[in-house]
Amino acid sequence: MNIVIIGAGDIGYNLAKKLIPEKHNISIIEIDHSHYKRANDNLDALVIEGSGSSLKSLYEANIKDAHILVAISNSDETNLIACQIAKKIGVPLTLARVKNSEFISNEFVLSQAELGVDYLIQPELVTTKAIVRLIKQANATDILELENGNLLIIGLRLDKKAEILDTNLSELGKKFGNPPVNIVAIKRRLFTIIPRGNDRLLNTDQIFVMLHREYLPEALKLLGKSEKNLTNIMIIGGGTIGKLIAKELEDSINIKIIEKDERKAEQLAAELRRSLVINGDGSDLDLLAYEGITDMDEFIAVTGDDEINIITCLVANHLKVQRTIALIKKSEYTSLMPAIGIHSVVSKQLITVNTIQKFIRSSQLSFYAEIPGIDAEILELNANAKSKIINKQIKDLNFPKNAIIGAIVKKSNEIVIPKGNSIIEDGDKVVVLAMPSAIKDIEKYF
């Protein structure tokens, strides 16, 4: 496809890096010279230095031939104008990133169609939803919802309480009565493992499990995890994400937010009803101690500074806070977080890129996502009468070694956690977790 991207900041740059290997023709428009230069020097794409709302720049980027316009600059107005121009020119699909929540409100006076946008995305909102899901499932290091939340991929850190340690995966089913749970990935130190039957789980492994939501309580018991009731949460950073988290949870959990900027702290205190807002430096150890960090069930660092988020989470770990969640910008940090002891990491850039990729790939895939810190990708593919994968037992498929079938969604919407003798049929959706090197081979099956 021909795709025009407005904005080559962190999100636009990383989106282009993901799309280029898929053989799309990418054009990028960027007004900031340093961002333009980075994209022009490092990406196999047509990069234009100019404004996304400029008709001249859009024509230079071959907007007339574009199938999709993705407007994700830092300016809401630029993004929306670019979408309106694209629609007038005849671009079939448009996506706009917006910061102002008014644009995505049901009360806004203009509809998405009137704005010229097929899909509106607010990165702060989708990131908040991801963090809130993690908070509500207190044992998880990561959580991803598929099939309207009925199918879950849960990341968990194993400890000595887990009964499943030191047993071959092929023997686990017999030992525990064939539970409807599929271990689809193992993160061991810095390495991602797509498991096979002779693999064993070790203490401190981070595992990723696919299961039906209804089975979650039983699965947690099997994995040595008990349900946790959260009472107290401390949030460092009172920006948009910190504020949205507090608004979502303050009716059921005691929230303390520490915000360094005095004016922002005052505005935050006026907007929140039950949360306690403290004007102070979240990296000040004395302040954290005075505000009762040792009494917290969870510690969440969502400032705009990766280093502050990492350091404060490490301090919280040292003080025995049950779980820490760090917001990270730099994607190269994500794989290191489990190794240094941070329980969960959330990347706004990665979540946003995943959401946009899902929009772009919707004609081929029902779902596409990545999980921060592991090398594998999650695909949901549609099987049809011509697919090589149908009407055979999974054990006979000779499926790529760096991939695993995690779940099958039948035409009736029944979710099946597959065994070796499971059969995929015409019309089924198949959820696969795969290393990037295996994706081309997987697509041949469909």
Burial 263-274 (b: 16+ CB within 10 A, else e): ebbeebbeebee
- Alpha carbon distance 259, 271 (integer Å): 14
* pLDDT at residue 430, as a whole number: 94
CATH of domain 376-445: 3.30.70.1450
- Alpha carbon distance 163, 159 (integer Å): 9
Same fold? 139-222, 376-445: yes
Higher pLDDT, 159 or 50: 50
Is the pLDDT at 69 greater than 80? The verdict is yes
- Name the residue type at position 1: M
* pLDDT at residue 7, as a whole number: 97
Top CATH class of 232-349 equals alpha beta
- Alpha carbon distance 385, 407 (integer Å): 19
- Alpha carbon distance 298, 300 (integer Å): 7
Coil vs helix vs strand at 284 = coil
Top CATH class of 2-121 equals alpha beta
Rg (CA), the chain: 23
Taking only the tens place, the pLDDT of each residue in 361-381 is: 764 555 667 777 777 888 888
**DSSP class of residue 282?**
T
Instruction: Give the residue extent of every domain in the chain.
Output: 2-121, 139-222, 232-349, 376-445
Taking only the tens place, the pLDDT of each residue in 316-330 is: 988 889 889 999 987
Coil vs helix vs strand at 409 = strand
Coil vs helix vs strand at 88 = helix
Q: Which of 235, 241, 246, 224 is nearest to 324 (CA)?
A: 235
Q: Which residues contact 252 (CB under 8 A, 6 or more apart)?
A: none
Q: Does domain 139-222 have CATH number 3.40.50.2300?
A: no
Quote the pTM value. Answer: 0.76
Taking only the tens place, the pLDDT of each residue in 221-276 is: 878 787 677 899 999 999 999 999 999 999 999 999 999 999 999 999 999 999 99
Taking only the tens place, the pLDDT of each residue in 80-116 is: 999 999 999 999 999 999 988 888 887 888 888 888 9
Burial 40-53 (b: 16+ CB within 10 A, else e): beebebebbbebbb
Tell me the CA distances in angstroms from 43 to 2, 28, 37, one per residue in order: 15, 10, 10
